[in-house]
Amino acid sequence: MTRSGPSVRPGSGRPTREQAAARQAELLDTALDLFLEHGFELVTLDQIAERVAMTKRTIYAKHADKAALFRAAVQRAIERQIVPRQELDDLDRGDLRETLEAIGRLRIRQVMTPNGLRLQRIINAESYRFPDIFAANLEQSTIPVIDFVTRLLDRAVATGEIAPTNTALAASSFMSMVVGGQVRPIVAGRMPSTRTLDKKVRFTVALLLDGLRPR
């Protein structure tokens, strides 16, 4: 897969802070590509060092072993999937249905990016060996969105737009229905058209809200 960002090779002398950060990012992206291509067990630090034109000594200076490098590579991918709170706030225009649809589309399109696909596929492939990467992605990337949706639903309960309910459970169901249901085929390589994606998001949000409406 194509790595994001330019390849930076510092010249002679001590690299600048920006160059060092770019090289570290390149190392982590390259390592994640190789782990995804061949699996954690089959990838060696020699392969990673050769691919990124870096000595193993340089790698070991920042990462104690292959497992530490793997976790750092996954962590970088997770951090790039985190939706800033301000971005979520900007999606909230006061209309619950439109806001939920916008959040659903945002999260699904994140997964459709090269970084999002790599992250989901590496979690699917290696979380049995590293269960902490699944937990880290859930805690850092998914739960903040669930918490935001919970607050939206709390507001809707207070105004009578939806019936009193367990809003945290309803928000979790939103992520499963609206986002998770579309993500699985995407990760498997079946990319929907924009029209199809929007249709599915609107349908599942409507289904969710119909179940939550006052009776």
Verify that 116 and 25 share a domain, yes or no.
Answer: no
Residue 197 lies in a domain: yes
Q: Per the domain annotation, does 3 fall within a domain?
A: no
List, for residues 119-134, the tens digit of each pLDDT value. Answer: 999 999 999 999 999 9
Task: Identify whether 74 is part of a domain.
Answer: yes
Read off the tokens for 79.
């951090």
- Do residues 143 and 70 both lie within one domain? no
pLDDT category at 206 given cuts 50, 70, 90 is: very high
Average pLDDT for 22-39: 95
Query: Tell me, what's the pLDDT at 89?
Result: 96
User: Which spans in 92-160 are helix H?
Assistant: 96-111, 114-126, 131-137, 143-159
pTM over 0.95: no
State which of 78, 113, 147 marks the end of a domain.
Answer: 78
Q: Give the C-alpha separation, 121 to 187, whole Å.
A: 7
What is the rounded CA–CA span in Å between residue 3 and residue 63? 20
Q: What is the pLDDT of residue 13?
A: 65
CATH of the domain at 130: 1.10.357
CB burial class (10 A; 0-12, 13-18, 19+) of residue 16?
exposed
Instruction: Please tell me whether residues 128 and 184 are part of one structural domain.
Output: yes
Q: Model confidence over 137-168: pLDDT tens digits?
A: 999 999 999 999 999 999 999 999 999 999 99
Question: 162 and 97, same structural domain?
Answer: yes
Work out the percent of the chain whose per-residue pLDDT is above 90.
87
**Residue range of the domain that includes 38:** 17-78
Domain count, the chain: 2
